[in-house]
Amino acid sequence: MSFLSEAIETLSETPLRAAELTQGLSDEQLSRRVSPEHFSLRESVLHLRDIDVEGYELRIQRILSEASPVLADVNGAQLAIDRKYNEQPFDPALADLLLVRATSMERLRACAEADLERTAVMEGSGTVTLRRLLEMWMQHDADHLKDMVQLRRAVEGNTQPSFGKHEAA
């Protein structure tokens, strides 16, 4: 399997996994923060949605349509504060995440392997290829999904979470 096919498969799973990890939880459980420094499950889903909409989907569009575009960083922590994620409805956010991720995956399915070497200048990261951007995206998703597993256990009363460090979005 090619890197591009593997990336599409991996990235396609994130919204489904997020849905599984939040299924059957009350609004209170979805909004529970186990520490001031970490997202709740609700905030995690809204964060993934907004990073997809304002980060990765836009970045992919620009890398594929422009010669070496300059890509802005997205401050996900600030978005969570400004948009009051824990006060937003959950179901529409999850639906939006599923939709924007499907759109991005369709865009990637139309790519050729050679497109993986297209470049952009990303704020805070320097020159990146589409391949590197996809690697960053997969790592971002993996970090958040790992945290969401721990959060799910914590809100169900089974354990105290132990969070890792995340790569910038």
Q: Is residue 162 part of a domain?
A: no
Per-residue confidence (pLDDT) for residue 157, from 0 to 100: 83
Query: Confidence class of residue 167 from pLDDT cuts 50, 70 and 90?
Result: very low
DSSP string of 91-149, one letter each residue: HHHHHHHHHHHHHHHHHHHT--GGGGG-EEEETTTEEEEHHHHHHHHHHHHHHHHHHHH
Where residue 130 sits, what CATH number does that domain have? 1.20.120.450
Bridge pairing between strands 126-129 and 119-122 = antiparallel
Q: CA gyration radius for the chain? A: 16
**Mean pLDDT, residues 56-77:** 96
Residue 162 has pLDDT above 70, yes or no: no
CB 94 within 8 A of CB 143: no
Is residue 160 assigned to a domain?
no
The SS3 call for residue 70 is strand
**How do residues 48-62 score in pLDDT, each as one tens digit?**
999 999 999 999 999
**Domain annotation covers residue 85:** yes
What domain range includes position 53?
Answer: 3-155
Q: Is residue 166 part of a domain?
A: no
The answer to whether position 93 is within a domain reads yes
**Residue 164 domain-assigned?**
no
Q: Examine residue 47 and state whether it is found in any structural domain, yes or no.
A: yes
Number of domains in the chain: 1
Could you tell me if residue 19 is inside a domain? Answer: yes
Q: Per-residue pLDDT tens for 90-146?
A: 999 999 999 999 999 999 999 999 999 999 999 999 999 999 999 999 999 999 999
